[in-house]
Structure 1
Amino acid sequence: MNRDTWFTVQKIDEMTYAISEYGHWEKVHSFLLVGEEKAVLIDTGLGIDNIKRITDQLTHLPVEVITTHVHVDHIGSHGEFKKIFVHEGDKEWLVNGIEGLSIEQIRKDINREITLPKPATFNPDTYHPFQGEPTGLLEDEDIIHLGNRELIIYHTPGHSPGHICIYDATNGYLFTGDLLYAQTPIYAFYPSTNPVDLVNSLEKISNIENINVVFGSHNTLGLHPKILEEVKFAVKYLKEQKLASFGTGIHKFKGFSIQF
């Protein structure tokens, strides 16, 4: 583990790093996957500090950004990178701004419950989420080759229309973004979310084979793949009880919870 003034870098293996922002209440993780030919950065964090400073230290290969979804805490340093990819379902938000969130609310949320010294470059009063055209669009079952490792894209809407998960088939790592993580509820209660889609997406990832570790984008770093068995139970329960709809509240399962 290596602590920067803002970021915490944790080595998952010799070619994979978690870049975490534990000084903020959202406890966001971004992930750098290094290949032989290029590297992929899964999300770019909050934008309170410049994550490219960290990726420059970890690899000299060209870095392409894959966006799990277009929410503020996942696109913070997008403007620092030349190649940015997003699913078509979230392209509109990347270009024109995130639906249903005022800039006042965004600035309030980004600046609360910060426990580390804020970088001098960070000013919550002028903070503005990245907006811009992506380099390209991702589709379900796209395969990205890094030379010596293969990434498979899974479209998993619900938390956002264009949410994706990324499966590193070479190492058995599943990066689930905000579809699945521990400790705090998975959110699907905003007007821009879709509870039915979220449950279907959870079912989709629970059927991926040969997963060794699940990496959500918040809180606990690295979850045992047995959590996917509980996901299967949760999907069955939520469907049978017809609970996948707005206003049904928080549903708790072993290792995770969901709020509709």
Structure 2
Amino acid sequence: MKTRIIPVTPFKQNCTLLICEASQRAAVVDPGGDLEQIEEHIEKAGVTLEKVFLTHGHLDHCGGAQELAHKYHVPIEGPHKEERFWLDLLPEQSIRFGFPPASVFMPDRWLENGDCVHFGEETLEVYHCPGHTPGHIIFFSRAQRLAMVGDVLFAHAIGRTDFPRGNRAQLIHSIQSQLWPLGDDVTFIPGHGRTSTFGQERKTNPYVADDVISSASVN
């Protein structure tokens, strides 16, 4: 599986184009906007778009999903049903952040913890990781040892929890219980910024490194 990271919107959100090399079919994760850039990558790669996957309902991650899905006649899968709270607020989000108007939509398939999604010959596992938002999910390719984690975890940081229905303790629990067991060798693509590995973050992340969590537990 090949990946193409496409920073979109003024927030430089990491939209990701996933390409199944065996079938030349593709999926797009979190098309938040700037659809002309995403479409250009699809066309240059010479692939057939099959799915749109969403990690959560914040505008910079899903603002372009409906339009992209309609143009290519493909389904939207994800996020978790708890994210309906944020999808219902898309018009308000677009006004607040000065984005192009966004309308409310529902995915073709809500995803639950333990589900799998497919495109081409590739399979991604789904993990529910609430905290940043209530219905946030991540996608994991066990074969590629690669995770698309949205705004759960960043290189040297974690997702914000000061938005409505955010919960810091829940987010940290999600990282420890859902991400770390996947393995230190897993490379992850965050919603913003550079890639890293779970092992690196367990050593150096100032919020969820193992020694940070241990110290907090003792105190």
Scaled to the shorter chain, the TM-score interval is 0.7 to 0.9
Please list every run of 5 or more consecutive structure 1 residues that lacks an aligned counterpart in the other structure: 1-13, 111-126, 242-260
Aligned residue type for 1:18:
I
SS in 2 for 1:189: coil
Equivalent position to 2:68, from 62, 67, 80? 80
Equivalent position to 1:97, from 73, 76, 89? 89
Q: TM-score, normalised by structure 2?
A: 0.80
For 1:16-51, what per-residue CA distance to the aligned partner results, in whole angstroms no more than 9, with x for missing partners? 211123x83x22111111224542211102x24432
For the pair 1:189 / 2:162, whether they are aligned, the reply is yes
Q: Distance in 1 between matches of 2:196 and 2:53?
A: 21
Please list every run of 5 or more consecutive structure 2 residues that lacks an aligned counterpart in the other structure: none
% identical equivalent positions: 23
Partner of 1:169: 142
Q: TM-score, normalised by structure 1?
A: 0.69
User: Between Structure 1 and Structure 2, whose CA radius of gyration is higher?
Assistant: 1
Q: 1:102 to 1:34 in 2, by over 3 A?
A: closer
Q: Distance in 2 between matches of 1:147 and 1:65?
A: 13
Count of residue correspondences:
204
Aligned residue type for 1:93:
W
Shift of 1:213: 1.3
Q: Distance in 2 between matches of 1:64 and 1:98?
A: 21
Comparing both structures, which one devotes a greater share of its residues to helix?
2
Q: Distance in 2 between matches of 1:154 and 1:31?
A: 18
Equivalent position to 1:128, from 86, 96, 101? 101
Q: 1:103 to 1:28 in 2, by over 3 A?
A: closer
For the pair 1:227 / 2:212, whether they are aligned, the reply is no
Equivalent position to 2:186, from 188, 212, 226? 212
Q: Distance in 1 between matches of 2:41 and 2:149?
A: 22
Aligned residue type for 2:47:
H
**What is the Cα-based RMSD across aligned positions, in Å?**
2.6
Partner of 1:7: none
Q: Distance in 2 between matches of 1:235 and 1:186?
A: 16
